[in-house]
């Protein structure tokens, strides 16, 4: 029965609290719904929430299920009073079977709580500072089990963040109601014939500024606030075909002249970014030049002009064709590369229509607001006067986000409804850590964010100090933290965050940016730059992973009902040996310039590995005959990302030098859940026991064989997950570079033995809900 209650309380309650957040309209409704839910799930007679007032010593009853509703808002006590105050004083759990007999028991007549015997109180924290208490009481004496206390502690942890955010939202709601009141009063004034001056005076009281909070994707960390500059990207300039179309020869000439002008502007931006940041950051513009010189792209535009399209419309149609290859991809990193193609089209159309794409000059420091910030925008902005960036589109893998992180500019992207809710007179607070912005915040929110900014600056200084330190546990276990990359510009970001090399280099983008498959010499040049950029640090190069969601405009794929289960990744490479051999040759030719290793995706059998080895041996023999130097002992590994590889890991390990667990696909294939399908996204769960035991099995096989097992994927970017995985036997991680410092900090504060204890307990649990609850408790205890 206890296990059933634990399961019911834990997973279902956490899920339902998420629903409550979405459907509650204010703080009071949120708290009321939570106490009703927890009381029901705990099978208790009472659940109450007390919050600390701003003085830090007064607790007020804010919501209750079971006590007198009339006492809400009226019952207050000092933290030195009562059992609830004792929870705050001790900053920990207070559980008592017979509460009225306790010396700290305090009776409030208004609550009518004399009939309740047992008491369980758990503090609500914000950054280790108590903000309130959640209390559970029952009529009959009851000893609360460890599982019940643990579950309620996890729920309390979630409630804490809800309370803080709800308070901020509530203050915005109150201000909005005030604004609506004054608007109503102004209408009454107008109806009674008051003067225009009187109306203006009344309007100035609120300045006509609406307060609002919007949530997006946290793209670059940090806090800032200030006035806005709305970037005029001429969003209506889209080559719609409404322009006058001249004779075909003139339209062709217009396009070719505009193309040359766009190349000149691109060269300027490449030079500017190289001077401002680095050649690696500027490399994206070299890719843009390659696309603008691509015969396939040029021919497509000219063919459309020959069909009586105007040049601007023809450019837009051609660009849209290429955008289609990117926008359908599952991999967010690769999907965001579509912004580069969009940028190229915008630049050419600017030149066609005579728009000046010159540098944006700001008179004072401002927050940049835009529908999207493209690479050319980042190149032409005056970065010294950009304090933050917010956009309606885009995400954390966009080139603008990468450059913002390089420059240390806080950025939040993907803010739905941003442009219709903001104006030039507005002020904005950006929280680049949580992905929230506050438009026209009141003084309370400003004070709160001043504190958060101080905390963030202090935390950042602490993390910066870790950059050159190794990731070592308190009992001496060494952990390696490497970066996932895909562009030359990622080198700078990775090294700035202390990456110890590259655990996953996605090689797809160089293929996507070309008109045809790049030959071995082109690929060698690119791989050499990556290897030299990391200066003898390991670089793990994954061979071409196309198919499924990753298409190439110049490569025909068969139509498949289920492409993710179809012809993709290594299956394409082994069938199209001509493409595969060129890539292997490119990597081998670049290998003397660094510390390269080869990794092959979606391998499922020994037969595939033997086929790869045969082809690799033949390519090596060919290079040897041609006198091309290469590393003959280049390490050879596979990605473990499908159940077949997990089940036969002990067989496959004999044929390779190392494994790399790709958690994103492993979770998807193990649970038969497409994480981008909203209908089944809830089934995509890294904490499912099947996923965790799969990872453990692969780690054990690596340990037993004496071969390295690394892990790449979003799962490792969360500190508590990294500690769990470390305890399961994984000591080599590859993740998005900005997450490396926070993972390193967590590792340096804990022992390997503790991580093993955490992992052992997690692997004994029978449900994802139980795992999440337990890890939530550990996360709170460790202050992560």
Q: Which of the residues 47, 351, 712, 755 is marked catalytic? A: 712
Sheet holding 58-65, edge to edge: 76-78, 58-65, 46-52, 129-138, 118-126, 94-96
Q: Give the separation between CA 66 and CA 114, rounded to whole angstroms.
A: 12
Q: Which of the residues 399, 436, 456, 688 is marked catalytic? A: 399
Query: In the structure encoding, which two tokens stand for residue 605, read together?
Result: 């059998």
Q: How far does CA 273 lie from the centroid of its chain?
A: 25
Token pair 């939040």 is at which residue? 412
Query: In the structure encoding, which two tokens stand for residue 219, read together?
Result: 């793209």
Q: Give the separation between CA 310 and CA 578, rounded to whole angstroms.
A: 39
Q: Classify 76 as helix, strand or coil.
A: strand
Query: In the structure encoding, which two tokens stand for residue 495, read together?
Result: 């090294």
Three-class HEC string of 715-749: HHHCHHHHHHHHHCCCCEEEECHHHHHHHHHHHHC
Q: Give the separation between CA 695 and CA 493, rounded to whole angstroms.
A: 29
CB neighbours of 349 closer than 8 A, spacing ≥ 6? Answer: 237, 238, 239, 258, 312, 315, 316, 355
Contact between residue 375 and residue 285 where contact means Cβ atoms under 8 Å apart = yes
CA torsion angle 243 248 250 255 (round to 10): 70
- Sign of the dihedral through C-alpha 99, 103, 109, 110: negative
For the chain, what is the largest distance between any 2 Cα atoms, rounded to a whole number of angstroms? 97
Q: How far does CA 320 lie from the centroid of its chain?
A: 27
Opening angle at CA 764, ends 759 and 768, nearest 5: 85
Q: Give the separation between CA 3 and CA 204, rounded to whole angstroms.
A: 60
Query: In the structure encoding, which two tokens stand for residue 549, read together?
Result: 């969601």
Query: In the structure encoding, which two tokens stand for residue 278, read together?
Result: 């680095």
Token pair 């369980």 is at which residue? 120
Query: In the structure encoding, which two tokens stand for residue 692, read together?
Result: 């965790």
Q: Are strands 46-52 and 129-138 parallel, antiparallel or unpaired?
A: antiparallel
Q: Give the separation between CA 685 and CA 638, rounded to whole angstroms.
A: 23
Q: Give the separation between CA 667 and CA 670, rounded to whole angstroms.
A: 5
Phi then psi for residue 8, to 5 deg, are: -65, -45
Q: Classify 428 as helix, strand or coil.
A: strand
Token pair 């040996």 is at which residue? 577
DSSP assignment of 192-241 equals: TT--HHHHHHHHHTTTTPPPEEEE-EEEE--EEEEEEEE----TT-S--S
Bridge partners (DSSP) of residue 58 are 78
Token pair 């919050």 is at which residue? 51
712 catalytically annotated? yes
603: left (phi over 0), alpha (psi -120 to 50) or beta: beta
Q: Classify 771 as helix, strand or coil.
A: helix
Contact between residue 156 and residue 773 where contact means Cβ atoms under 8 Å apart = no
DSSP assignment of 630-677 equals: --TT--EEEEE-SHHHHHTHHHHGGGSSEEEEEHHHHHHHHHT--TT-
Contact between residue 752 and residue 473 where contact means Cβ atoms under 8 Å apart = yes
Contact between residue 387 and residue 366 where contact means Cβ atoms under 8 Å apart = yes
Q: Give the separation between CA 305 and CA 315, rounded to whole angstroms.
A: 9
Neighbouring C-beta atoms of residue 287, cutoff 10 Å: 24
Active site residues: 399, 712
């Amino acid at each position: 029965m206890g296990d059933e209650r634990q399961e019911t309380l834990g997973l279902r309650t956490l899920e339902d609290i998420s629903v409550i957040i979405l459907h509650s309209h204010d703080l009071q409704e949120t708290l009321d719904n939570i106490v009703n839910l927890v009381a029901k799930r705990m099978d208790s007679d009472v659940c109450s929430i007390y919050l600390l007032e701003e003085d830090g010593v007064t607790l007020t009853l804010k919501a209750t299920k079971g006590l007198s509703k009339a006492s809400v808002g009226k019952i207050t006590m000092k933290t030195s009073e009562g059992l609830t105050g004792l929870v705050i004083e001790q900053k920990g759990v207070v559980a008592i079977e017979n509460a009225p007999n306790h010396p700290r028991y305090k009776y409030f007549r208004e609550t009518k709580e004399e009939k309740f015997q047992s008491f369980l109180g758990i503090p609500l924290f914000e950054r280790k500072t108590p903000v309130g208490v959640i209390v559970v009481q029952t009529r009959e004496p009851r000893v609360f089990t460890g599982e019940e206390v643990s579950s309620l502690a996890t729920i309390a942890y979630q409630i804490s963040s809800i309370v803080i955010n709800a308070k901020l939202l509530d203050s915005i709601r109150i201000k909005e109601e005030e604004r609506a009141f004054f608007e109503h009063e102004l209408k009454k004034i107008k109806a009674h014939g008051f003067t225009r001056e009187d109306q203006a005076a009344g309007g100035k009281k609120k300045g006509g500024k609406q307060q609002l909070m919007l949530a997006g994707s946290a793209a670059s960390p940090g806090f800032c606030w200030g006035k806005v500059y709305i970037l005029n990207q001429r969003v209506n300039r889209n080559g719609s075909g409404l322009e006058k179309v001249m004779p075909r020869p003139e339209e062709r000439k217009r396009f070719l002249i505009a193309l040359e002008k766009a190349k000149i502007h691109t060269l300027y931006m490449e030079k500017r970014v190289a001077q401002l940041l680095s050649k690696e950051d500027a490399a994206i513009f070299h890719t843009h030049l390659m696309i603008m010189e691509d015969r396939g792209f040029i021919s497509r535009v000219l063919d459309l002009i020959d069909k009586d399209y105007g040049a601007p419309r023809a450019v837009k149609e051609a660009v849209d064709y290429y955008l289609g290859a990117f926008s359908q991809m599952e991999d967010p990193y690769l999907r965001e590369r579509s912004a580069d193609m969009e940028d190229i089209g915008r630049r050419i159309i600017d030149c066609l229509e005579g728009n000046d794409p010159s540098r944006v000059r700001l008179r004072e420091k401002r927050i940049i607001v835009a529908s999207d910030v493209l690479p050319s925008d980042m190149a032409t902005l005056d970065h010294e006067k950009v304090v933050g960036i917010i956009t309606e589109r885009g995400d954390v893998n966009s080139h603008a986000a990468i450059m913002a992180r390089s420059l240390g500019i806080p950025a939040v992207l993907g803010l739905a409804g941003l442009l219709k809710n903001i104006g030039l007179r507005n002020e904005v607070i950006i929280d680049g850590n949580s992905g929230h912005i506050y438009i026209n915040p009141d003084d309370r929110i400003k004070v709160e964010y001043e504190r958060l900014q101080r905390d963030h600056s202090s935390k950042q200084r602490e993390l910066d100090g870790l950059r050159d330190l190794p990731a070592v546990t308190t009992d001496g276990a060494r952990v390696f933290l490497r970066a996932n990359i895909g562009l030359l510009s990622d080198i700078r970001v990775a090294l700035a965050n202390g990456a110890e090399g590259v655990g996953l280099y996605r090689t797809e983008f160089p293929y996507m940016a070309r008109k045809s498959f790049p030959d071995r010499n082109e690929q060698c040049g690119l791989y050499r730059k990556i290897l030299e950029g990391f200066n003898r640090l390991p670089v793990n190069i994954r061979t071409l992973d196309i198919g499924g969601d990753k298409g190439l405009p110049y490569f025909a794929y068969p139509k498949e009902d289920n492409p993710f289960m179809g012809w993709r990744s290594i299956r394409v490479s082994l069938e199209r040996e001509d493409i595969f051999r060129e890539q292997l040759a490119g990597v081998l030719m670049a290998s003397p310039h660094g510390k390269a290793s080869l990794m092959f995706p979606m391998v499922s059998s020994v037969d595939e590995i033997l086929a790869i080895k045969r082809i690799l041996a033949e390519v090596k023999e060919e290079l040897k005959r041609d006198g091309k130097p290469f590393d003959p002992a280049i390490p050879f590994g596979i990605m473990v990302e499908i159940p077949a590889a997990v089940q036969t890991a002990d067989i496959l390990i004999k044929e390779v030098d190392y494994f790399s667990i790709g958690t994103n696909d492993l979770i998807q294939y193990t649970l038969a859940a497409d994480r981008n399908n909203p209908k089944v996204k809830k089934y995509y769960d890294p904490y499912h026991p099947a996923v965790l035991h799969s990872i453990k099995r692969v780690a054990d096989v690596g340990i037993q064989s004496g071969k390295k097992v690394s892990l790449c994927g979003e799962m490792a970017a969360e500190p508590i997950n990294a500690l769990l995985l470390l305890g399961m036997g994984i000591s080599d991680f590859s993740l998005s570079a900005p997450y490396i410092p926070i993972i390193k900090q967590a590792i340096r504060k804990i022992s390997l033995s503790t991580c093993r204890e955490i992992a052992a307990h997690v692997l004994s649990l029978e449900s994802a809900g139980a795992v999440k609850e337990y890890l939530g408790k550990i996360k709170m205890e460790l202050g992560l």
